[in-house]
Each structure stands twice: as C-alpha cells, then as structure tokens.
Structure 1
Amino acid sequence: MSLQHVEQPVTIAAHDGRTSLGAEFPRLANRTIVRFLSRYGILITFLAIWQVSSSAGWVNAAVLPPIDTIVTALWNGLAGGALLGDIAISLQRAGLAFAAAVAVAIPLGLFMGQVRAIETALDPILQVFRQTSALALYPVFILLLGLGEASKVFVIFWATLFPLLLNTISGVKQVDPKLLEMARVYGATRLTAFRRVVLPGAVPSIFVGLRLSATTALLLLIASEMIGANKGIGFQVMNAQYNFQIPLMFAAIVILAGLGLIANQALVSLQRRLCRWSNPID
C-alpha cells in the first residue's frame, strides 16, 4: 500500500471535522443570542423606546433627555473628574456603614440564634427599632451627631443593620436539628458543632442579608447626601436637578445603579465561592 493511500483517510477525517465545527458554530451563536435576548431583551427595548421617543419629540427632551445625551454627560463627568470625587466620598460613607453593620449584625445574630433566652429578651426592642424608619430617625441623628459625616454614616448603618441581623438569626434557626444531633452523637463539642454545622448552614441566609443590606445602604446613602451634604452622588443628583442639569442628574442616577449592580454581583460571586453546596439566589 502506497503512502498516498495511507494519508487519504486522515485527510478525509480532518475535512469532516472542519465541516462539523463549521456546522456547529452557527448553532452555538444562535443559542448565545437567544440566551442574551431572553435576559436583556426587555431592557434593550426599554432603552430603545426611551431614545426614540425623546429624540423624536414624543416626550419633553428637557425632562427626559435621550440616552446618548445622558451617556455623553456621564462620560464628561467621569473623564473630567467631576464625578470621581463624589463617587469616592459616597463609597467611603456607604462602605464604613456597611462594614460596621457586618461587624455588629453577624456576631449578634449568630449569638441570638443560638441562645433562645437572649433572643427572647432582645427581640421586642429590635422589632420596635426595625419598624421605625431610618429616615424618620435621621433628624434625631442630626441633633445628636450634627450635620457632619457621623450622622450620615450612622443613618446608613442603622438601616443596613436589621436586614442582616434578622437573616443571620433566621439562618441559624433553620439549620437542620438532625445534623446537630448527629454531630453530638459523634462526640462533637458545642464549639465544633457551631463551626462545622451551624455556621456553614447559616451562610446562605447571611448572604441574603448582605445583599439586602448593600441595597439598603445605597438607598439611604442617597437620602442622607440630599440633606446637608456638599459632596457625594446623592448631592449631585439634587444639585443637578436644582440647576436643571437633567442629563447630569440622570448620569449620577446611572452611577448609583451601577454601584448597586456591582455590589450585588460581587456578593453573588463570593456566595458561589463559599457555598458550593448551595445554589445562590440570583
């Protein structure tokens, strides 16, 4: 048998492989496009309707500017540095308050979830505080702490504390009692059972509380910066509205939305890494 006859089947097989890949690529591309449109199609349609209706004069462009005008204002504010300082101070306020809430709520929630007597004693006052709006208490915080950074950080801390605290308590109480009983049967101490059973079982619920608290932190950040602040994204929203700089106002709102999406996605990614046995809530 000649060398030419030996190489011929190989050549045909390689040709069939390329044909198969060529036929598979359009199918994969169509599947990707369908998946993308099923997730973002409504959002894209909403933005397209906004752009067309504003550009065509169907709505007042001075009140609802076109999307491209908002994007231009956003780019000018970021490239020129006008909004970077506001973003930094807003992240500092929200970050300090969120970190303080995490440092207080998670240990307290784990303790209350484990010790029923402590939960029974603290639950009434916590429910009263939880049902009292943080914005309603903001004037009290201003009287006590002044119009400076302390009152702004504290009102954000107050609002973010309770979602995380209650979700932590709920996560501890929802741990399967049979797992705890099995740990005791195998001779695990109370501390070992807490580290190996209670804490891992409560982590998914804690992450739900973290995501709720992160969203609440940004909401209260806007409100606190609209009162008595001269710097921050919330201040820029109000200042642009007062000066009728509507594209800049919407640009600041887009930044707030982007910060919220980034924070939520970061927590979802961290939950997936730490809770491989659990499906995180998207």
Structure 2
Amino acid sequence: MTLFGIRIPMLASLVLWALVWEIVGRLDLIFLIPPLTSVIAAGFELVQTGSWQSATTITLRSFALGMTLAIAVGVPLGVLMGRVKVIDNIFGLWVNMFVSAPLSALVPILMILFGLGETTVFVTVFLFAVWIIVLDARAGVMQVPTSLIEMGRSYGASRWTIFTKIILLSALPEILAGIRIGLIRGVKGVVIGQILVSVIGYGELFELYSRSFDMERFWALTILLFAAAMMLSAAVEHFEKRIEYYAGAR
C-alpha cells in the first residue's frame, strides 16, 4: 500500500489496530475489552497452565481427525464429480446445499446422535471442511484443458497415466486451495463444536472465562486460535505457490 508516495507495509495495519485496542483498553471505555498488553501477558501465562495444554491436546486431536477424514473423502469425491457426470448429478445438489447451509444448527443434532464428547466435535469439523474441499477439487478437475488430455492420448498414454500425470497435477492448485479453505473452516468447526458442547477442549475454557469475566484470558485464547488458523493457511498457501506451474497452461 502506498500513501502520499510512501510505501507502507501491510504490517502497519496490524500495528495500528493494536494501538487502537490498547488505547480503548486503557481508557476503560468498554469493560469487555482490556488493554492489549494485559491480554498478551495473560496469553503467556495461559499457555503454561495445565488446563490450556489439556484443552489444546483435545482440540488438536479432534481437528486432526476431522480434517484427515474431510480430505480423504472430499478430494476423491470432488475428483469423481469432476470426471463422472452421473456422480456429479447425484452429489452436486447435496454438496452445494451443505456449503450454503448454516452447519452450526446441526451441532445439537450431532450431540443427540454422538453424545457430549469428542466424537461430536470431530464430526463437526468434518462437516465444516469437507464440502468446500469437494467443490474446489471438482472445479480443478473440470478446468483441466482437454487439449492436454488429447495430447496424452495421441502419445499413447494410458488412462491411469492421463489421470495421475495430467488431470490430478493440473487440478492440484485448486485442490490445495480447497484444502486451505477447508482448514480454516475446520478451525471454525472445532471451536463451534466445543463451545456448543461446552464440556471439553477450548469450549470449556471459553465458557469458564466468559462466566467469570476473565476477559484477558478470553481474548488471549481467541488470539491464539486466530494465529493458529492463519499459520495453517499460510503453510498450505506456501505449498500452493511451489506447485503453481502445474496450472500454467490455464
């Protein structure tokens, strides 16, 4: 960003909002917003507590299981929908419906089906992440240039070689983009699931801090979650950039 001919780094926006947060907190205008320095100090104390470490273990386990299943189901289903018209007709309506549906409303139903435990959170993560992964994998496969496939056939490539060396590699940027967005949605799913269950993981901590009005730790936990989501997204985005040349023909 350039202002009056001076190039301003993107980090300046973050510094500006941090300064505004600190000023509002110091002026005690809203009791729900403590000074940012107090939040950061509370964050350093929080990560040393056994309750945070235990909640993090539970949260990471539920998130990892849900995302693993979402990727294992979403990518193959999206590829099949992009290549097989019948499968696309069967699942297309349902995928689009679940992408646009308010999935938070399904969590109480999942609680009835799976109980107040990690299984409900794990399934919530799966439902939040899988549909966007399916759609992006489908879009990537459908955008593979037919000229590349025809060229492979003209050189005598087998169907398996065309599928693995042309179709999948050409669709890889979109597949990774879907996984990146799915990771972010998965973080949202694990937090929403635990908050509604309110007895495990970060949901239990959020409930504890909000009831006791411990806003320093509440915001510290929120910032930690935001930072984790951003790092996951950045890691996948970095990998995306390394394989962008596969999409050069498009």
TM-score (norm. length: structure 1)? 0.81
Shift in CA distance, 180/95, structure 1 to aligned 2, threshold 3 Å: same
Residue matched to 1:175: 144
CA deviation vs aligned residue, 1:48-81 (integer Å, no higher than 9, x gap): 12112322x1623x32111110011101111334
1:146 is displaced (CA, Å) by 1.5
In the alignment, which of 34, 41, 48 is matched to residue 72 of structure 1?
41
Residue matched to 1:132: 101
Q: What is the aligned length?
A: 243
Amino acid at match of 2:216: P
CA deviation vs aligned residue, 1:132-152 (integer Å, no higher than 9, x gap): 322111122122212221111
In the alignment, which of 16, 19, 28 is matched to residue 45 of structure 1?
16
Question: Separation in 2 of the partners of 1:278 and 1:76?
Answer: 46
Runs (5+) with no aligned partner, structure 1: 1-33
In the alignment, which of 18, 29, 38 is matched to residue 59 of structure 1?
29
Residue matched to 1:23: none
Secondary structure of residue in 2 paired with 1:230:
coil
Question: Separation in 2 of the partners of 1:241 and 1:234?
Answer: 11
Residue matched to 1:142: 111
Which structure is richer in relative contact order (CA contacts within 8 A, separation 6 or more)? 2
Equivalent positions of 1:1-282 (< 5 A) are 37-55=8-26, 57=27, 59-60=29-30, 62-277=31-246
Asked if the contact 2:83–2:141 (Cα under 8 Å) also holds between the matched residues in 1, the reply is yes
Q: Which runs of 4+ in 1 moved over 6 A?
A: none
Question: Separation in 1 of the partners of 2:95 and 2:172?
Answer: 22
Superposition RMSD on alpha carbons, in Å? 1.8
Runs (5+) with no aligned partner, structure 2: 1-5
Secondary structure of residue in 1 paired with 2:197:
coil
Secondary structure of residue in 2 paired with 1:175:
coil
Question: Separation in 2 of the partners of 1:247 and 1:77?
Answer: 10
Q: Indicate the structure (1 or 2) with the bigger Cα radius of gyration.
A: 1
TM-score (norm. length: structure 2)? 0.90
